[in-house]
Amino acid sequence: MGSKYEQGLDKHAANYSSLTPLSFLGRSAHIFPNKTAVIDDDITLTYRQLYQRCLAMASALHDLGIRQGDTVSVLCYNTHELLESHYSVPMTGAVLNALNTRLDANTLRFILEHGEARILLYDTDFEALVGEVINGMESPPLLVAIAREGGPSRLARLDYEQVLASGKLVSARAAPDDEWDAITLNYTSGTTGNPKGVVYHHRGAYLAAMSNAMAMDMTADTVYLWTLPMFHCNGWAYTWAITAIGGTHVCLRRVAADAVHERIERHGVSHLCGAPIVLNMLVNDFHRDGKTLSRTVQFAVGGAAPPSTVIRRGKEVGFEITHLYGLTESYGPSMLCVRQPEWNSLPLDDLARKMARQGVGLHAIDEVAVAGSGTRLAPADGQTLGELLMRGNTLMKGYLKNEAATQEAFRDGWFHTGDLAVMHPDGYAEVKDRAKDIIISGGENISSQEIEEVLYRHPRVLEAAVVAMVDEKWGETPCAFVALRDADAPPDQQEIIDFCKSHMASYKTPRRIVFGDLPKTSTGKIRKNVLRDWLKSL
Amino acid sequence: MGSKYEQGLDKHAANYSSLTPLSFLGRSAHIFPNKTAVIDDDITLTYRQLYQRCLAMASALHDLGIRQGDTVSVLCYNTHELLESHYSVPMTGAVLNALNTRLDANTLRFILEHGEARILLYDTDFEALVGEVINGMESPPLLVAIAREGGPSRLARLDYEQVLASGKLVSARAAPDDEWDAITLNYTSGTTGNPKGVVYHHRGAYLAAMSNAMAMDMTADTVYLWTLPMFHCNGWAYTWAITAIGGTHVCLRRVAADAVHERIERHGVSHLCGAPIVLNMLVNDFHRDGKTLSRTVQFAVGGAAPPSTVIRRGKEVGFEITHLYGLTESYGPSMLCVRQPEWNSLPLDDLARKMARQGVGLHAIDEVAVAGSGTRLAPADGQTLGELLMRGNTLMKGYLKNEAATQEAFRDGWFHTGDLAVMHPDGYAEVKDRAKDIIISGGENISSQEIEEVLYRHPRVLEAAVVAMVDEKWGETPCAFVALRDADAPPDQQEIIDFCKSHMASYKTPRRIVFGDLPKTSTGKIRKNVLRDWLKSL
């Protein structure tokens, strides 16, 4: 840069500050002090109250010895306490580690030890689990009990509300010295091996929140229902985004169709998010019970493409569906299937095919590409399969204490998603399968996901998963595991195989169908490794 | 930061890039290639075309020798060429200097020399002016003529479209190496002395664009009419914001009520911006001609508070008005009078009083305050007058080649706006006057703006400006300069004084009323220094 544009034009306190989502809470408390920030069953907090509680908790955590770079873990439902932790913990300079409530004691113990948690805040509903977790830990974290439905704790010496009440209303640090400082730690729910600790930074969290707010056209009128766990990538950054736009958070301890419907209607919910299984369940249950919504509600689904039946039934009950894609490593959603105006006139099945694609990067993502041969990128032909790659400001700092995995994930200047995708001519990427789930039969790549999509179209199929089965002649062939809607109905392998044959090339048709319940991870993903092990053990 | 959150968690090409508004154009060209990006009379450009033209022009500018840190100036109406320059010039690493078309030749020459412009792109409507400007310059910039309504140039060797056509469609640098690098240079329209060159950087421009898009709830459906000059703080960052959200830019060479109404209706305009004088003119002319808009259009007004009559009449013709505040030094709008839901039930005059306030900081502003005595801040009592202060990421790098003025503006860790304001108990700031326009009478501060607001309420007053007049007894007393709506009607000093007396404390009432046209700057601001000089010369 020529010196005239540098000399005497430095950064200083008046024209530069670290980007951080912590600034959103202070701003909304300033502009909307008396507006409802959080509704959590019978507890309602205004933005001023939420801000003051977070300041007080940050001060109290500091008094408990929490300092820059420490880890504070939280095991809690989607309640105001977990939302507060997204501000109070980083306000101290520490890192928030929101734990998946569906994990077993061993995994939770591994995470607390690996993340070096100094304090564990937990809902006393999990009292027994926490007892099991800390049993046998050499230096367990300090326990702080959140006594809501679970009642008072017999395990923890400290109580969340008492700790908070001990805090002073001092003005916390508004921003970290360096926007690259860690803000949260989220463990992957790997289907194999130990979970990896994904580290987010303040800058990325700020940009992820802004991008996600813009992706869903959110405004100060937004009322957001917490069907998505806040422990999933910090609730896809909506823990911060809803606060950024001055919207209202509606908490929810457990996702059930009645509770969701009631809250949407009572609080005028405008947006909610969730995995396909949640969307499916809500749409099915609303449909079964003849429940519709009194106004259109935006539903952002992430994790898999919404089938056309779900899009149609969703619309009938009142959900407008948007398809997002992301990973723990990308702060949750990093891609969005932007709906083009001309799609509105498409037949439903064509629309569903368009919407099934993972799409394009959010604002904070610089580039999305599909790896080709060597160091080249795949052409945008909708055909060439390669690993989906991304780069941008909302990709993690890396994996905690795991340089090898970090370097592997970030090799060649790209983040490697581990998903196999094609790039369509219109610049929309579509994930075809997890790299490790691809089936190679007679030298041909077969996408297990493509077969699963066909299986899901069969009216009797509730869930389906396809994995590779060793075959002497072809190397591998597809084997399908299927759970039927009516578990008591007689399974009919040939009926399913014939259905597949009529919808796909015959070499892709599963050779075998196994009926029964499907094993899942704590986040509801089907554990294909278990199915593979089961096949091998035959 | 504890080392575990730093080790092996570095920035690199896959997880970090410079924030820049240039990324918006590439993204929108990717997602919306065939969508209309720009409508400029009979020229329509899709996002793909706009992007390709900017890439080609960047390549051509590079071939003309433009390099990192160079300055490229543009003298042009609100056309697609000026919009393109907001991308093509920074794509080369150079700095865009959009010139105010209303400036005289001497001032333009000063700016070109001070900014060291290497190239001047200009609309041939300004051929004579440009001839005058470069006449006598030791090393005038290379001239590139934009031949639209003004026809071909006899002065410039190069033509914009020919230069562009010579450019290659190479992929320009997507982002600068450092997001603190300069992106644009905007000269203040100081009422006294030489204009100062305000330098913006890529990070600030990115954040200003995002903040302004969110401030006005913009989405991909936004259609933006360019009534605001793009040379004003880069069109308040909407040159970048509209592209960020994938909206449509509707160009406009000259603001006239008929042309504005026609474009709003024909193109489905949803948003426009402008100074109070533009809003006033449009509302008056629409009202006079019985023109209304077929749907509500958002009008963001900046520069002064909208009076209640304008709010009411605006609503009647179809404008929903939002009040913004900012300065060249703050990338244009940095504050916003956020409308609280409960204001909707207020009587119009009360609503106007609420909306008259400059309000609260946009997302990219960290803090807005009013200076108190010493280094303290003024209390939020709605009374204590002090200089309005700001800090945040959308305050300029500084003034080009003017370290003294830069340090003065940024002293004590704040940007000093030069405006006198109060902070209301609800956290909304209200500017009462320019610091230098305050009148001190018998030891009491009198806001010239407060008197002007009363004068504007008089049905016969078109424009009013109040300045201090030397007074032996009181030190200073207010003197009002008034232009009447009907310039031929007989002026009546006592009528105006009586009207003031019935609406304000008597010590604030102007002692003298002078009738006639008011002298203005090139941006339409009343030149109070000329009025003061005139008073002194009496």
Q: Which of A69, A390, A426 is opposite residue B2, by nearest beta carbon?
A: A69
Burial label, B86 (beta-carbon count in 10 A; 0-12, 13-18, 19+): buried
**Residue A180 at interface with chain B, using a CB cutoff of 8 Å:** yes
**Token pair recorded at residue A500:** 């597949």
Contact residues, chain B, for A31 at CB < 8 Å: 338, 360, 427
- Given this model, what pLDDT does residue A306 score? 80
Contact residues, chain B, for A403 at CB < 8 Å: 7-8
Is the confidence at residue A40, as pLDDT, over 80? Answer: yes
**Residue B95 at interface with chain A, using a CB cutoff of 8 Å:** yes
Q: How far apart are CA A19 and CA B176, in angstroms?
A: 19
Work out the mean pLDDT of chain B and round it to a whole number: 93
Segments making up each domain of chain A, as ranges: 45-200, 255-390+405-435, 438-536
Is the confidence at residue A106, as pLDDT, over 70? Answer: yes
| Per-residue confidence band for A1, with pLDDT thresholds at 50, 70 and 90 | very low
Average pLDDT value for residue range A130-155: 95
**Residue A179 at interface with chain B, using a CB cutoff of 8 Å:** no
Question: Cα B3–B8–B14 angle (5° rounding)?
Answer: 135
8 Å CB contact between B362 and B333:
yes
Is the confidence at residue B1, as pLDDT, over 50? Answer: no
DSSP designation for B294: S
Contact residues, chain B, for A368 at CB < 8 Å: none
- What is the edge-to-edge ordering of all strands in the sheet holding A142-146? A158-159, A142-146, A117-123, A71-75, A95-98, A182-187, A197-201, A398-399
- The CATH code belonging to domain B49-200 is 3.40.50.980
For residue B98, give the 3-state DSSP assignment. Answer: strand
Q: Which residue of B has its CA nearest to A197?
A: B5
Is the confidence at residue B191, as pLDDT, over 60? Answer: no
ipTM reported for the complex, 2 dp: 0.89
Higher pLDDT, B16 or A375: B16
Domain made up of A45-200: CATH architecture? 3-Layer(aba) Sandwich (3.40)
Token pair 């007393």 in the structure block, residue = B477
The verdict on a CB contact (< 8 Å) between A393 and B68 is no
8 Å CB contact between A378 and A423:
yes
Residue B113: what residue type?
A: E
Contact residues, chain B, for A1 at CB < 8 Å: 68-69, 93, 178, 181-182
Average pLDDT value for residue range A447-468: 89
Least confident of A406-415, B144-153, B470-479: B470-479
Q: How far apart are CA A138 and CA A130, in angstroms?
A: 15
The verdict on a CB contact (< 8 Å) between B175 and A12 is no
pTM: 0.90
| Per-residue confidence band for A535, with pLDDT thresholds at 50, 70 and 90 | confident
**Residue B342 at interface with chain A, using a CB cutoff of 8 Å:** no
**Token pair recorded at residue A447:** 């996408």
Q: How many CB atoms lie within 10 A of CB B503?
A: 16
State how far residue A318 is from chain B, nearest Cα, in angstroms: 22
Report B:97-116 residues touching A (Cβ under 8 A): 116
Q: How far apart are CA B201 and CA B90, in angstroms?
A: 10
Report A:10-49 residues touching B (Cβ under 8 A): 10-17, 19, 23-24, 27, 30-33
The verdict on a CB contact (< 8 Å) between A363 and B69 is no
- Given this model, what pLDDT does residue A459 score? 87
**Token pair recorded at residue B268:** 């489905």
The verdict on a CB contact (< 8 Å) between A393 and B361 is no
DSSP designation for A111: H
Report B:346-365 residues touching A (Cβ under 8 A): 360-361, 363
Is the confidence at residue A237, as pLDDT, over 50? Answer: yes
The verdict on a CB contact (< 8 Å) between B27 and A361 is yes
Is the confidence at residue B338, as pLDDT, over 70? Answer: yes
Is the confidence at residue B218, as pLDDT, over 50? Answer: yes
| Per-residue confidence band for B172, with pLDDT thresholds at 50, 70 and 90 | low
Average pLDDT value for residue range A122-140: 96
Q: Which of B2, B68, B413 is opposite residue A68, by nearest beta carbon?
A: B2
Instruction: Say if B49-200 and B438-536 have the same CATH topology.
Output: no
Q: Cα–Cα distances in Å, from A54 out to A57, A59, A80, A164, A229? A: 5, 9, 10, 8, 20
8 Å CB contact between B42 and B148:
no
**Residue B366 at interface with chain A, using a CB cutoff of 8 Å:** yes
8 Å CB contact between B132 and B112:
no
Residue A174: what residue type?
A: A
8 Å CB contact between B450 and B508:
yes
State how far residue A447 is from chain B, nearest Cα, in angstroms: 26
DSSP designation for B379: P
Average pLDDT value for residue range A386-396: 97
The CATH homologous superfamily to which domain B255-435 belongs is ANL, N-terminal domain (3.40.50.12780)
Compute the CA torsion angle A312, A313, A318, A322 (nearest 10 deg): -50
Q: List, for residues B221-255, the tens digit of each pLDDT value.
A: 999 999 999 999 999 999 999 999 999 999 999 99
Q: Which of B17, B361, B366 is opposite residue A393, by nearest beta carbon?
A: B17
**Residue B175 at interface with chain A, using a CB cutoff of 8 Å:** yes
Phi-psi region of B344 (alpha: psi -120 to 50; beta: other; left: phi over 0): alpha
Contact residues, chain B, for A407 at CB < 8 Å: 8
Q: How far apart are CA A214 and CA A238, in angstroms?
A: 11
Is the confidence at residue B315, as pLDDT, over 60? Answer: yes
Query: Which residues are within 8 A (CB) of B388 and not within 5 positions of it... i.e. 6 or more apart?
Result: B358, B368, B369, B370, B371, B417, B419, B420, B421, B429, B431
Report B:226-245 residues touching A (Cβ under 8 A): 244-245
Q: How many CB atoms lie within 10 A of CB A28?
A: 23
8 Å CB contact between B422 and B384:
yes
The verdict on a CB contact (< 8 Å) between B12 and A410 is yes
**Residue B180 at interface with chain A, using a CB cutoff of 8 Å:** yes
8 Å CB contact between A423 and A382:
yes
Q: Which residue of A has its CA nearest to B197?
A: A5
- Given this model, what pLDDT does residue B358 score? 95
Higher pLDDT, A352 or A210: A210
Per cent of chain B over pLDDT 90 is 76
- Given this model, what pLDDT does residue B170 score? 77
Q: How far apart are CA A194 and CA A110, in angstroms?
A: 8
Q: List, for residues B383-400, the tens digit of each pLDDT value.
A: 999 999 999 999 999 999
Q: Which of A505, A376, A370 is nearest to A427 (CA)?
A: A370
8 Å CB contact between B511 and B469:
yes
- Given this model, what pLDDT does residue B26 score? 96
Q: List, for residues B147-169, the tens digit of each pLDDT value.
A: 999 999 999 999 999 999 999 88
Kindly report the CATH class assigned to B438-536: alpha beta
Higher pLDDT, A86 or B452: A86
Interface mutation vs chain B, best among A5, A298, A367, A397, most B CBs within 10 Å: A5
Least confident of A303-312, A328-337, A469-478: A303-312
In sequence order, the β-bridge partners of residue A399 are A198
Q: How far apart are CA B292 and CA A283, in angstroms?
A: 43
The verdict on a CB contact (< 8 Å) between A4 and B116 is yes
State how far residue A147 is from chain B, nearest Cα, in angstroms: 31
Average pLDDT value for residue range A33-55: 97
Query: Which residues are within 8 A (CB) of A186 and not within 5 positions of it... i.e. 6 or more apart?
Result: A97, A98, A197, A198, A200, A231, A232, A233, A234, A328
Average pLDDT value for residue range A97-102: 94
| Per-residue confidence band for A190, with pLDDT thresholds at 50, 70 and 90 | low
Is the confidence at residue A27, as pLDDT, over 60? Answer: yes
8 Å CB contact between B416 and B435:
no
Q: Which of B334, B378, B325, B323 is nearest to B356 (CA)?
A: B323
Average pLDDT value for residue range B65-94: 97
The verdict on a CB contact (< 8 Å) between B17 and A210 is no
State how far residue A223 is from chain B, nearest Cα, in angstroms: 15
The verdict on a CB contact (< 8 Å) between A214 and B210 is yes
Domain made up of A255-390+405-435: CATH architecture? 3-Layer(aba) Sandwich (3.40)
The verdict on a CB contact (< 8 Å) between A178 and B1 is yes
Query: Which residues are within 8 A (CB) of B505 and not within 5 positions of it... i.e. 6 or more apart?
Result: none
Radius of gyration in angstroms for the set of CA atoms belonging to chain A, rounded to a whole number: 24
In sequence order, the β-bridge partners of residue B46 are B36
8 Å CB contact between B187 and B74:
no
**Token pair recorded at residue B162:** 């020919």
| Per-residue confidence band for B276, with pLDDT thresholds at 50, 70 and 90 | confident
Is the confidence at residue B450, as pLDDT, over 70? Answer: yes
- Given this model, what pLDDT does residue B436 score? 79
- Given this model, what pLDDT does residue B135 score? 94
**Residue A68 at interface with chain B, using a CB cutoff of 8 Å:** yes
The dihedral built from the CA positions of residue B352, B356, B360 and B364, taken in this order, carries a sign that is: positive
Contact residues, chain B, for A93 at CB < 8 Å: 1
Contact residues, chain B, for A327 at CB < 8 Å: none
